[in-house]
Amino acid sequence: MRVAAALVAAAALGLSATAASVAKPAPARDWSKTVAATPEGGFRMGNPAAKVKLVEYGSLACPHCRHFEETGYKPLVQNYVRTGKVSYEFRNLLLNTPDIAVSLLAHCAGPGKFFPMSAEVFASQPQWENKLIGLTDAQKAELEKMSNTDQIVRYAELAGFPQIAVKFGLTAAQQHQCLTDPKGLSRLVGITEKAENSGVDHTPTFIINGKVTDAALWEDLEPLLKKAGA
């Protein structure tokens, strides 16, 4: 009887272990880890086959874009992009020379580091913008005498962008090459011109499945994502 009881107990334990292993869900794929450059010149995070495709035309120098970064970026990624429901693409809409400088550097960081570096740029935006607002008349006069390329390099230095870029693996030599690259500049300008020609005239502008929305805040954008099928 003791042997029989032991066999029954062992069988029960085996069944419990089997049930537990069956009940354990397979680990879900985290689509927020999938980032790629797009033919349109942006960077897309998420499932390329997602039912809902979100595009943001934004600027790294835009305070409204920074507000979205602070309030909407995390829930967007955690609740919609990570699960594969939504893909999120950021395309730069250039506002000024400092924006050109930091956008060039963020693009040179590459797909895997573009979004983390952009988050750092947004977080420090008030500080580096204050540096530029506080430029002396002599510094402004110096900038006016420079070529467009030299202005881009100098604005990056004055704002402190090299200190940000080095955190994401860009050496001083790589940064200089990036900031003076005419092809990189042409690509960014091309994205902006194409957007403006299609009627995009402010940042941030959100496009869902090819349709321009009126949303600028997360509380306005999220219901539109759900309505689209997210």
- pLDDT tens-digit map of 208-222: 999 999 999 999 999
For residue 6, being part of any structural domain is answered with no
> How many domains does the chain divide into?
1
What is the structure's pLDDT at 196?
96
For residue 140, the SS3 value is: helix
Q: Report the pLDDT averaged over residues 129-153.
A: 96
For residue 9, being part of any structural domain is answered with no
Question: With bands split at pLDDT 50, 70 and 90, how would you rate the model's confidence at 25?
Answer: low
Give the pairing type, strands 35-37 and 211-212: unpaired
What is the structure's pLDDT at 14?
43
CATH number assigned to the domain comprising residue 48: 3.40.30.10
Q: For the chain, give the mean pLDDT.
A: 90
Question: With bands split at pLDDT 50, 70 and 90, how would you rate the model's confidence at 115?
Answer: very high
What is the structure's pLDDT at 28?
77
For residue 209, being part of any structural domain is answered with yes
Q: Compare 23 and 77 and report the one with higher pLDDT.
A: 77
For residue 21, being part of any structural domain is answered with no
For residue 2, being part of any structural domain is answered with no
For residue 4, being part of any structural domain is answered with no
pLDDT per position as a tens digit, 152-185: 999 999 999 999 999 999 999 999 999 999 999 9
The parent domain of residue 97 ranges over 31-227
For residue 55, being part of any structural domain is answered with yes
Q: What's the pTM value of the predicted model, to 2 decimals?
A: 0.86
For residue 203, being part of any structural domain is answered with yes
